[in-house]
Structure 1
Amino acid sequence: MAGKGAPKTKQTRKLFERFGKLQWAVFLIGVFHVVTVLYPLFPFDTSGKLLRFCTGFLGIVMARRWDHARRFGIALLVGYGGLVFAELCAPETLEPVTLIYGRTALSGAFIILLSFKHQGRLGT
């Protein structure tokens, strides 16, 4: 029985050893979004729970590969940045939840900058 558990642990260890800084950042951002569905950080957070859950789930799944993690950062910056831009273009309907969207767009920018920093080392 002990032999059956060892390969799974070894495979899991290999997966996490292969994670780069970019992938860890995307994974942690994904986990953060999933956790904030259950425990919102701010009382004015009225953003859709399904949207935050899907964002977090995609972050966790896309963290497995470096190129997917980078695409996730681009999607965050474009998607949530678009939401912030739309809110700022209509200032009469500006809501506090725009800060939540802005935080997520900035995390996408952070992921993209991190991917540029480590791109040369990976040879991709």
Structure 2
Amino acid sequence: MIAPPECIILLVDDEALTRQLAEMLLEECGYRVVTAENASQAMHRLQTHPGVGLIFTDLLMPGPMDGRELIHHLRCDGCDLPAILTSGIGYAPPFLPTRTRFLNKPYKRAHLVSHIEQFIAA
């Protein structure tokens, strides 16, 4: 398994407080984090941070692309990074893109880390 500091996580969430809390949680676990507040910023961050190893994105975001559409767009562009979609809707949305998992909000630290570690180990 790759050590956490070797995995940069792209965190995408339109809600500033949620994004900040998730960033702190991930950093406390030893991960390096790059943040974006929407899909457009996320695509730019991927171009400027080539070391990103996992995308952790909110499902429901305003704008032309939500989290699932962001992942689908990236897959169509050849980006095969693992992704975790998260939302408080209470159920996994149908038709998740490949190499994508769903995590309900609110999530526990251990559950989030478990999802990340399973992807990194794969």
Q: Which TM class, normalised by the smaller chain length? A: under 0.3
Bigger CA radius of gyration: 1
- Structure number with the bigger relative contact order (C-alpha 8 A, sep ≥ 6) is 1
Task: Report the structure, 1 or 2, having the larger helix content.
Answer: 1
* TM-score, scaled to structure 2: 0.28
